[in-house]
Amino acid sequence: MNRALCILAAALLTLATPVTAADEPIRIGWTPWADGIFVTRLAERLIEDELGHPVDLVEAPISEQYQALAWGRIDVMLMSWQPKTHAPYLERLGNRVEHLGVLYDGAQLGWAVPAYVPRDQVESIGDLADHSERFDGRVTGIDPDAGLTRLSREALERYQLDAFELETSSGPSMAAELQAATQDETWIVITAWSPHWLFAAEDLRYLADPMGALGGSERVQALARSGFYNDHPEAARMLARMYLDLDTLERALLEMYRHDYSAAIDWYLQEQADVVAHWLGQPPSS
């Protein structure tokens, strides 16, 4: 009887003990864009291995990530392009998110073509109008709700490219179409961004955008749901310190393309050991 009462008392105590947000896995939203994959997986590795806290990755379109942050269905996203690309999403959120810090800056959006497309014929986005047949009347794009897709639709109108259609798919599908085209030196124009491994793997160039339809230099920031810092101060501090040099990030993306994201993270952690130690609040190795 005494043993049964003890078991019952323990069960009641367990039910009475609230499960706090600090006990739950940190949920990081992500979309399969090359830089987003690497940075998200890098953060996951550090939070789990160095901070000892579990992580759940939640794949979702970029617009849904902003909504999920606002409603607390995810804790963090590491793919917020500011100030222009994701401005409409941020404007709807008001103070329902926490800005943790800039992950990298000097990022760029644009339309790109392979280098074998003659520059003297196609130097700017407006020049596409004279070569719609060579490009099969297509601009090869990425996710339908990506900020780059929204800006690309506006670019079609501003440059009056009536003979072109923007074909949306995903980042990996766009890359696959580009690589298939370059094998035969078929003319293709893609919606592109930097940093991306494609610029290291293929000989590409951005088309000039004299109207500024696709914006200028961007910064990529880490965002969190309201209350995240209070619930996970150690992880929040790490993400706030997390800043990646753009050149080194592009080298990591090339490693990811050649091997996989795990090998790229191994390379980065070795190459940038002191930088990562700073993120974690640790002294440098030397």
Task: Give the pLDDT confidence score for residue 7 in this predicted structure.
Answer: 40
- Burial category of 269 from C-beta neighbours within 10 Å (exposed 0-12, middle 13-18, buried 19 and up): middle
Give the model's pLDDT for residue 22: 67
Check if 19-105+217-279 and 107-206 are the same fold: yes
| Phi-psi label, residue 142: left if phi above 0, alpha if psi -120 to 50, beta otherwise | beta
Is residue 108 within 8 A of residue 209, CB to CB? The reply is no
CA–CA distance, 87 with 81 (Å, rounded to integer): 8
Strand (E) positions, 115-201?
Answer: 138-140, 165-167, 190-194
Mean pLDDT, residues 40-64 taken together: 96
Pick from 91-95, 121-125, 167-171: least confident: 91-95
Q: What is the mean pLDDT of residues 121-143?
A: 97
Domain range annotation of the chain: 19-105+217-279, 107-206
Average pLDDT value over all residues in the chain: 90
Q: What is the pLDDT of residue 137?
A: 97
> What one-character-per-residue DSSP string does 44-68 give?
HHHHHHTS---EEEEE--HHHHHHH
Pairing mode, if any, of strands 190-194 and 97-114? antiparallel
User: What is the rounded distance in angstroms from the CA atom of residue 198 to the CA atom of residue 89?
Assistant: 27
pTM over 0.95: no
Give pLDDT, residue 10. Answer: 41
Report the distance separating Cα 152 and Cα 192, nearest Å: 10
Residue 161 has pLDDT above 50, yes or no: yes
| Protein fold of 19-105+217-279 | D-Maltodextrin-Binding Protein; domain 2 (3.40.190)
Choosing among 3.40.50.10800, 3.30.70.260, 3.40.190.100, 3.40.50.150, the CATH entry for 107-206 is: 3.40.190.100
